[in-house]
Amino acid sequence: MKPLSLRSKIILATLATLALLGGAIDVFSGLRPVAVTISAPKEAKSLVTTPKTIARQLPLPDYSPVPVTEALSQRVAEYHIDVQLVPDTETLKASETVTWTHPGVKPVSDLYFHLYPNAFSSTDTTFMQESGGELRGDSMPDNGFGSMTLTDLRTTEGVSLLQRVQYVQPDDGNINDKTLVKVHLPQPVNGGESVTLKLQFEVKLPKIFARMGTSGNFVMAGQWFPKLSVYEPAGTRGVTEEGWNLHQYHGTSEFYSDFGIYNVTISVPSNYTVAATGFPVKNAKLKQEQKIYQFYADDVHDFAWAASPDFVYAEEALSTPEVPGVRIKLYLDPLHQDLKERYFQAAKAALTSFSKWYGPYPYSTLSIVVPPKGGNGAGGMEYPTLITAFGAAEISPNTSLERTIIHEIGHQYFYGMVASNEFEEAWLDESFTSYAEDKLMEQEYGIMANLPLQSSLVTTSQPLDLETWKYGGADSYTRNVYIRGKLVLKDIERLTSAKVMAAIMSSYTHKYRFQHPSTSDFQKIVEKVTGKSWQTYFDQYVYSGGAPDFAIENITIPSNKSNSGDAHSYESLVKVVNKGSAYANVPLKFTFSDGYTMERIWSGEHKETTFQLFHNAPLLSAEIDPDHSILLESKHINNFKLAALDQDTLSRWTVSMTKLLESVLGTLVW
């Protein structure tokens, strides 16, 4: 999903700065490959022995042969979909044939499908209740509702299963939520066997505000078809018992699906251009005022497409040692048609560096869709081999253009190929992608993220492996999953080194390519690369909402002269405490009234300690972490304290107000 908007960043930064300035007043008063073993799928399992009468269905098209490629993933699901955008109705009509190959061992009697468009069917759905009809700064337009209707569901032998459909709400029991459906099969599917179902469905597209829908004649079809839930065999993401991973569509949740094959035919009005996951099997053809496209993709876990009569199309090829050959396809809003080189440059930089850092980009295409201004609700989103930029609102946008492209291409690795469970461990995608985004923005554009300031925005730390809807709202979700999770990765880098962290990230993305890893899998990689246990660290900062909270508790100057025997030496006692989670090797800086500074390191072994200092001038101030290198601390106000000097001492030691201001303001300028 898109990084924080510039508007959101400005608001949050302003609030943080005001809080820090309030602290300054107190100071002045003295206070996104390993080989995968693939077994050949068995023939689709027949559910019945006697054919039944079949209701009239829209026929699936005669598909052209699709490429046969070496499997990179287990390919649990195979979808053949024929969809038509019905002109002037904002409606999709479609037929779907889906084959599911059981990846586990135990017999399965039910299949589960996500019907994501039903999240927008009323104000009573779980998504709408949790989001309040707002997402990422966008609100649902008036009368912007949408929905999905299953019009037919059958076995390959023609037996109707519509009467076996049951909407389920495993997360909150909301009977008004119809985003997850259970289909009871006539007979169980055993491990390694396959089952095929035929579906027909209609989608009333909502007005765009949450990733999918319409804006004028622009269409974004994301999460638009009945999509199988993930069945997790024992061992996947650490689960001990195999079974379905089932969740509704929540106000802050994104998605989790199994890898497979998609063969999709898309019919649109003849003046429309379509961008889609994968690559076209053949050129689009015109038939009865419809333009018909056919796309194919394998080793992906979703399929999205966009369409508009206004797209300005451009294409360039990229080939590097890590990217053997990919065609970058731009579908630009006319307002941005003169910015294509900026889009291409950002995309090439991202594909080149991310493939070098995290493993080769394995697909032959990458499509970039730039929505119109009114379609910004679909902007800044990732799908396999297709991303969306921010909606075109300015002729000359700032580097948020490049940042968004880089961020969304980063998702091709952590969301696309590593494919973590975004319902339950969203940080494995968003935090990792944000980490990669910052690194590349600095490398390519010289823009360094203001990490200490971002840290100050994390006012409430929560565990990083929470289900997304348990963060208590979009703000808390964003600050933990996007910001705090990224800061944890930066902190691991600080505690190891940039070189070691690069090895950690590379090992993780290569080992778990197409594997659905968990947080504990990432921890194992950290421990393997560094050769030591990180259990305590992960317990404090990942599996719980730990955060250090350092403070200068007290400064004492016993007398004008010390007992050290040096007639010109002053003794100072500085008590420092950590009111939060344990943290080792904490830097401190002591400034004396003659301008001399002294640095010390606190081991952090205990909750508090006292430093005894001697110098030939009185102590003026003490500061913890003066360079703000400890990114997991968000409360910086109590890190600085002035010594309480009597008037006689102040008169003996001339203290420049300029230097004092520099010392104080130095804690604020990050």
Catalytic residue among 130, 408, 437, 633: 408
Q: 134-144: buried (b, 16+ CB within 10 Å) or exposed (e) per residue?
A: ebbebebbeeb
Residue 427, both tokens: 């940080």
- CA dist list (Å): 622 to 22, 104, 573, 591, 659: 19, 60, 10, 6, 14
CA dist 636 and 620 (Å) reads: 19
CA dist 290 and 295 (Å) reads: 16
* Of 245, 304, 298, residue with least CA distance to 274: 304
CA dist 644 and 524 (Å) reads: 49
Q: 445-466: buried (b, 16+ CB within 10 Å) or exposed (e) per residue?
A: eeeebebbbbbbbbeebbbbbb
What residues does 92 pair with on adjacent strands? 85, 203
* Residue at token pair 């974004």: 220
Contact residues for 498 (Cβ-Cβ < 8 A; gap 6+): none
Q: What angle do CA 569, 573, 575 make, to 5 degrees?
A: 160
Catalytic residue among 272, 482, 512, 537: 482
Active site residue 242: no
CA dist 436 and 415 (Å) reads: 13
With contact defined as beta carbons under 8 Å apart, do 357 and 508 qualify?
no
Q: Annotation-wise, does 636 bind a ligand?
A: no
For residue 139, what is the enclosing H or E element?
Answer: strand 138-139
CA dist 523 and 208 (Å) reads: 38
For residue 2, the 8-state DSSP code is: P
CA dist 126 and 130 (Å) reads: 6
CA dist 545 and 485 (Å) reads: 11
Contact residues for 30 (Cβ-Cβ < 8 A; gap 6+): 642, 644
Residue 457, both tokens: 């925005």
CA dist 96 and 77 (Å) reads: 12
- CA dist list (Å): 197 to 93, 111, 219, 228, 359: 17, 10, 27, 11, 35
Query: Please, where are the H alpha helices in 517-567?
Result: 519-530, 535-541
Active site residue 408: yes
Amino acid 653 reads W
CA dist 443 and 441 (Å) reads: 5
Residues tagged active-site: 408, 482
Residue ranges of the binding site for Zn(2+): 407, 411, 430
